[in-house]
Structure 1
Amino acid sequence: MISCSRISVMLRRMGYAALSTSILTLSLSSLAGQDSLPPAVKKSASAAATEAGEPQEAKAADPYAVPEGSPEEILRFIEEIQELRPKFKNREELIHHVTRVQQATIAASDKLLSHQDADEKTAVEAVELKMQSLVMLVRLGRNGALEATLKAAKDLTRDPRKGVAAKAREILLAIRIGASPTLPDDQRQALIAEVLEAVAASQFSRESVGTAYALGQTLEEAGKGASASECYEKLSELLSKSEDPELNGLSVSLKGYARGLQLPGKFMELGGTTLSGKPLDWNAYRGKVVLVDFWATWCGPCLEELPNVQRLYQLYHDKGFEVVGVSLDEDRPRLEAFLEREQIPWTTLIEPDPAARGWKHPLAVRYGIRGIPAAILVNEDGKVISMAARGPELAAQLEKLLGPAEVDAPVLKKFGVFKKP
């Protein structure tokens, strides 16, 4: 089953944002009164009432009716109805209004697409408006909305107007990418191949590269690490052949992302220079449980996590727990002062060459570190068992691997740890 929320996230990333969901969370008491209708909406309601032979007083009966008129007038109606904020008694009325707005936008977009006076630019805008509203209906859980969205996109790809067909193909691809985590393996593999072929065929156009990268991100965020890794790695191979330095740099980053996603369950290679200027002897840590902690003194969340790591180091060090800090600081004096002040007992890595510090640290590049703290836990065999060893997760893993900790008085005093009764 395709995830509706993932489709909308993907469409936003690809530039086809669904109508703002802020309307769903507006305070009902703060919305304008029911009589505050925009001019174009009033006009459409009046026209609908007149056509039905109803008295003019009934003009507010259907503010969602699409007016006749020029493309400009229809576009103005869409803009104004999307800004309409009636007053509602409950959430059900609010959802009903949002649904009607989308339905009216779809109807108005269809009228634009068939309007004899609409130029191709306006038609392309109508495609975007229609698809945005269809996606919103999917997000609202309307029955058949997803099928209608896919069908509409496919139908529009056959439109004789090149701009309309091209826009529909882009949106359809965005929908397919949004659904990629829920696809069967063979279909997901086919989609990855299709997207990467487009990168090669376009000779590394920014649009095609962005689409491929978005596919990898979507798969990664959905927990499809193997598929995301494959997408990143193959895209990296393609970009390495480009003569564009920027794309070459992206190739290196993507290779790191892929390598990082492949880490769980595998041996982690580690090297670098310690603060004392000596090379790290990674083999000396074999047989130990090691936290490889990517951090920096300027990182707030890193500093918030530090007391937890210090406490667990005190509790489990004698049982075989070690920490290797990989500092992404660029200011070495600041790092040294911090380590001395906090009395950090474990090894810290920082490169001698200032050009290889910060996010350019070789280990950060190698494993595609994109955010810190990045806490990777390695077991006694040197294999990665957790990519998010922070807070309670780190404590639970250490207890599982090394057994219950014996809490002594100094640790109780320094870190406020209390024995369980």
Structure 2
Amino acid sequence: MSRPLSSSVFSRFVRLLRSRRFGRWAACSLLASSLSASLLPSPTFVAAQETPPAATQEVDPYALPASDSVEELQEYIAKLSQIRPDGVESYERHMDRLPAALEAAARRILELETDPKSDAYEQAEFLVMVARVLGASKLTPEGRSGLIDEMAGRLDGAIRIGEEAGLASQLASAVLALGERDEAIRAYRIFGAKIAATNQPDVANLGKRLEGIARRLDLIGQPFEIEGELVDGSTIDWSAYRGKVVLIDFWATWCGPCLREQPRLIDLHRAYGEDGFAVIAVSLDADRSRLEQYLETDPLPWPCLFRDRVGWDHPLALKYGVEGLPTTILVDRSGNVTHVDIRSEELLVQVPKLLGVPAKLSGDDPPPPRTAPSGSAEPSDDDGEGQR
């Protein structure tokens, strides 16, 4: 009987799907094609000995081996997962060829493996879907819609729900990166509802987050309200903010971009607070002592919601599908959302406009950023945002 692939092989493919580079490539690939055509939780499979990197050879690494051996095809798949493009052009060539190569090898294993309940068969069947998600940008919109429906069907009664849920999440993300917002919202809603119904808490939270992403993507023009416990243990009173322009700011003390935004938000609050501008922070710190240390050194002039030891799983972060920091939501005097993920430069324009008052600030000479608590890890930049 053939041995299962190492879990690290699957992890490498999933990391590729989760990377920002893949999202940017998918979007650029769609744009380039349209112009010229006038485009997981990591899987936890049974571990086996890792296939060592092959010696450098002048051969096509994507060429499917002419073999009837499941083991040799698995070794080929492992080598595909180890390819590391070293530049933009190399990455584009890799993504042009990887999905078809991976799918061909996985389908060949399905033809050769006699036991559909074996690890090798189940892994190959899963890799076919991974390959199709990796190649989603090459499908037509109708093809991607069909892939969403197929993925939804896979979630019904899935044995390895964690792996399937992670793949579903990346498919929805890829569709969003391709600019198909309505279809992405549909995917997030369908996948989220199915995944949230599982009896595995961590997986269920992913489902809640996917439902939240759909909710956040559809927030513009919708009424908004917020509830929860503040750092000091009291409860936020949303009714006190009626008639005000309110910025909801999801942040954390370890998030470098968040700390760079705060001085400008403080300036905005100072300039327009009496005109009716307010800020409510939602900290995704998991450590209360770290947050309290920060606030003692650099107090915020607005309330901060916090839930100890939950971090990214704060109820509001799940409700609105927060995946990166800072995430912001701007609410007008009528209580309706006007902007999502708005940054300080645009707030300089939108806040006085929504308040109906003259602009008092410009974007020149921004104040110095605030810093994380002394003795703690440096804030994360992570390509411009704090990420899960």
Bucket of the pairwise TM-score, normalised by the shorter protein: 0.5 to 0.7
Aligned pair count? 316
Going from structure 1 to structure 2, the CA distance change for 1:131 and 1:165 (only over 3 Å counts) comes to: farther
Task: Say whether residues 1:119 and 2:73 are aligned partners.
Answer: no
Structure 1 gap segments, 5+ residues each: 1-9, 18-74, 83-100, 417-421
1:294-313 matches, cutoff 5 A: 294-313=250-269
Aligned to 1:104, the other structure's residue is in SS state coil
Q: Which residue among 368, 371, 375 is the counterpart of 2:321?
A: 368
Change (3 A) 1:247 1:156: closer
Q: Distance in 2 between matches of 1:152 and 1:333?
A: 47
Counterpart for residue 157 of structure 1? 107
CA distance in 2, matches of 1:345, 1:151: 55
How far off its partner does 1:122 sit? Answer: 1.1
When residues 272 and 213 of structure 1 are mapped into structure 2, their CA distance, relative to the original with a 3 A threshold, is same
Q: Which residue of 2 aligns with 1:81?
A: 56
CA radius of gyration, larger in: 1
**Does structure 2 conserve the Cα–Cα contact (< 8 Å) formed by 1:13 and 1:214?**
no
* Residue pair 1:11, 1:171 contacting (<8 A) in 2 also: no
Q: Does structure 1 conserve the Cα–Cα contact (< 8 Å) formed by 2:211 and 2:321?
A: yes
- CA shift, 1:225, in A, is 4.2
> Equivalent of 2:346, from 393, 396, 403?
393
Q: 2:146 aligns with which of 190, 194, 204?
A: 190
Residue equivalent to 2:209: 253
Q: Hey, what's the Cα distance between the residues in 1 that align with 2:282 and 2:265?
A: 14
TM-score if structure 2 supplies the norm length?
0.64
1:190 deviates by: 1.4
Contact 1:11 1:175 in 2 (8 A): no
- Please list the CA deviations of residues 59-93 of structure 1 after superposition, one character each: whole Å capped at 9, or x if unmatched: xxxxxxxxxxxxxxxx99x92225xxxxxxxxxxx
Residue 338 of structure 2 is aligned to residue 382 of structure 1: no
1:324 Cα deviation from its structure 2 partner: 1.1
Match of 1:268 among 224, 227, 237: 224
Per the TM alignment, residue 349 of structure 1 is displaced from its structure 2 partner at its CA by 2.6
Determine if contact 2:248/2:328 at 8 Å carries over to the other structure. yes
Q: How does 1:121-160 map to 2 (within 5 A)?
A: 121-126=71-76, 129=79, 146=96, 150=100, 153=103, 157=107, 160=111
Please report how far the alpha carbon of residue 276 of structure 1 lies from its aligned counterpart in structure 2 after TM superposition: 5.6
Please tell me whether residue 320 in structure 1 is matched to residue 270 in structure 2: no
Contact 1:225 1:262 in 2 (8 A): no
Distance in 2 (alpha carbons) for counterparts of 1:168 and 1:257: 30
| 1:29-70 deviation per Cα after TM superposition (whole angstroms, max 9, x unaligned) | xxxxxxxxxxxxxxxxxxxxxxxxxxxxxxxxxxxxxxxxxx
Query: Structure 2: how far apart are the matches of 1:152 and 1:413?
Result: 51
Cα offset, 1:174, TM superposition: 2.8
Structure of higher RCO (CA pairs closer than 8 Å, 6+ residues apart): 2
What are the Cα deviations for residues 236-260 of structure 1, in whole angstroms up to 9, with x where unaligned? 3223443334433433333333333
After superposition, the Cα gap between the structure-2 partners of 1:204 and 1:269, relative to the gap in structure 1 and judged at 3 Å, is farther
Equivalent position amino acid for 2:283 in 1: S
The answer to whether the Cα contact below 8 Å between 1:325 and 1:348 also exists between their aligned partners in 2 is yes
Pick from 82, 85, 105 the counterpart of residue 61 of structure 2.
105
Matches of 2:288 and 2:54, distance apart in 1: 55
- Secondary structure of 1:202 counterpart: coil
- Helix, strand or coil: the match of 1:385? strand
Identity %: 32
Taking the aligned partners of 2:294 and 2:252, their CA distance within structure 1 comes to 10
Give the helix-richer structure, 1 or 2: 1
Q: One-letter code of the match for 2:113? A: K
SS at match of 1:255: helix
Change (3 A) 1:278 1:180: same
Query: Matches of 2:165 and 2:69 in 1, distance apart?
Result: 30
Distance 1:301 1:186, change over 3 A: same
Matched, 1:406 2:348: no
Report the alpha carbon displacement of residue 147 of structure 1 after superposing the two structures with TM: 8.5
Supply the RMSD in Å over aligned alpha carbons: 4.4
Any residues of structure 2 matched to 1:38-57 within 5 Å, and which? none
Contact residue 376 and residue 388 of structure 1 kept, 8 A: yes
**Which residue identity lines up with residue 350 of structure 1 in the other structure?**
F
| TM-score, normalising length: structure 1 | 0.60
Equivalent pair of 2:255/2:325 in contact (CA under 8 Å): yes
Query: Partner residue of 2:24?
Result: none
Q: CA deviation at 1:376?
A: 1.9
Q: 1:205 to 1:273 in 2, by over 3 A?
A: closer
> SS where residue 105 of structure 1 aligns?
coil
Q: Distance in 2 between matches of 1:132 and 1:413?
A: 46
